[in-house]
Amino acid sequence: MRSILIVILCSALAGLSMGPVSAATAQKTAKECRAEWRANKADNLAKGISERAFVKQCRAGGGTAAAPTGAAPATQATGTAAAPVTSGKSAGGTSAVPKATATPSGANQFAEEGQAKARCPSGTVVWVNLKSKVYHFSGSKNYGNTKRGAFMCETDANADGFRAAKNEKHPT
């Protein structure tokens, strides 16, 4: 009898500690996910997790995003070009970081978004189309998807003679 009371009491306490069911299953907003990513920005960049991929997985209910399979950790810029990304699949099977199809040829050009973010942590990272000399912002359909391109800081892209795509607005 006494053991049954203990089990019932423990079950009741466990139920109270979980809180309301709707709060536990509620989907996070993109703003909450971005705040969570920024709180662990250095760690996420070291693991090669882009903010975009983290927010996508966070909103899907995956909690924290996993590092992309086959991606090397982001490192500080050394002025040398990095090798292109060949596999950008995350644990969920979706593309975490857009694939670069050509080796970036200039200084401050990177094959991985995380490397460019490490170079300019407070600036905007853009995808530059090396052939047309036009760059695209995150969220654009061309971001990371042109045949010859690289990730760069927007300030470096402007200094190298690239310009923003006319049909895109600067993210705030």
CA distance 30 to 23: 16
Give the predicted TM-score (pTM) of the model.
0.43
Asked whether residue 162 carries a pLDDT value surpassing 60, the answer given is yes
pLDDT value of position 82: 40
Residues 105-131 have pLDDT tens digits of: 677 888 888 888 898 888 899 999 988
39 SS3 class: helix
| Of 49 and 94, the one with more pLDDT | 49
Higher pLDDT, 110 or 85: 110
| Whole-angstrom distance, CA of residue 130 vs CA of residue 35 | 32
- What is the reported pLDDT for 126? 93
Q: Label residue 80 exposed, middle or buried (CB < 10 Å: 0-12, 13-18, 19+).
A: exposed
d(CA 7, CA 155): 63
Half-sphere exposure of 135 (CA within 13 A, CB side): 24
Whether the predicted pLDDT of 88 surpasses 50? no
Q: What local confidence, expressed as pLDDT, does residue 151 receive?
A: 92
